Amino acid sequence: MWFTMNVILINYGVGNIFSVEYALRRAYLNVEVCSSLNSFGKADAIVIPGVGNFKIGAENLGGFKGNIIDLVRSNIPILGICLGMQLFFQESDECPNMKGLGLLNGRVARLPRNVKTPHIGWNNLKIVKYTEFLDGVDEGDYFYFAHSYYAVPSNPEITAAETEYGVRFTSVIVKNNVFGVQFHPEKSGKSGEKIIRNFARIIKR
């Protein structure tokens, strides 16, 4: 199968780039890893992975902000993974003075103190609305999580799935061409592969 769609995978120093790149290539996507604005090429889609601190992520991603916003406004699909999804929002309790990309209205909150954090391990989804992005995903499918914070969208209608861990939190968001997952599809076996392949189908339309 031809690798016809070009995905920009942004390497901003806080993501597990290699496993994400491999997962995207397995979905027959051409992946261009970009660590500077000068390396930005033609983009049919953007993927922002990420693990760790919101402040460091926002600072490192700051130089890409204008380019990302312009591409999303031109209807280019974007996928945020874990911290990458959290950075779509305006701000985080982890660092209240640091602004995210502002692609989505809302904030990022800390998981409750009565559960062990970070939330590391396998958990499933409660699907709250149908979306092509979750095509073939069942509520019994398990995904790999590693996080201490979660997104709180201002508009609950962008939540496509939720997960229970001390609180029921948004674990999948879909708004037009903006897609996000709190878990790591690249580490989630066959379940995660469904998500990546669905994203690939969406951008190939």
Mean pLDDT for the chain overall: 94
Residue 39 has pLDDT above 80, yes or no: no
The residues annotated with a catalytic role in the active site are 82, 184, 186
Q: What are phi and psi of 166, to 5 degrees?
A: 80, -30
Please tell us whether the domain made up of 6-204 is placed in CATH 3.40.50.880: yes
- Check residue 93 and give left, alpha or beta (phi > 0: left; psi -120 to 50: alpha): alpha
d(CA 112, CA 105): 22
Residue 15 has pLDDT above 80, yes or no: no
Q: Which residue has the higher pLDDT, 40 or 172?
A: 172
Q: In this structure, are strands 178-181 and 78-81 parallel, antiparallel, or unpaired?
A: parallel
pLDDT for 38 = 67
pLDDT for 41 = 67
pLDDT for 3 = 57
Residue 183 has pLDDT above 80, yes or no: yes
Axis-axis angle for helices 17-26, 189-204 (nearest 10)? 60
pTM of the model: 0.96
What residues have CB less than 8 Å from 124, skipping those under 6 apart?
139, 140, 141, 142, 143, 163
The 10s digit of each residue's pLDDT in 124-158 is 999 999 999 999 999 889 999 999 999 999 999 99
Query: 11-20, 138-147, 169-178 — which is least confidently predicted?
Result: 11-20
Q: Which residue has the higher pLDDT, 155 or 5?
A: 155
Residue 17 has pLDDT above 90, yes or no: yes
Beta bridge partners of 108: 92, 151
* Averaged pLDDT for residues 80-108: 96
- CA–CA distances in Å: residue 166 to residues 63, 92, 150: 35, 19, 12
**Please, what is the Cα angle at 199 between 3 and 192, to 5 degrees?**
105
The CA radius of gyration of the chain, in Å to the nearest whole number, is: 15
176 token code pair: 């037009």
pLDDT for 71 = 92
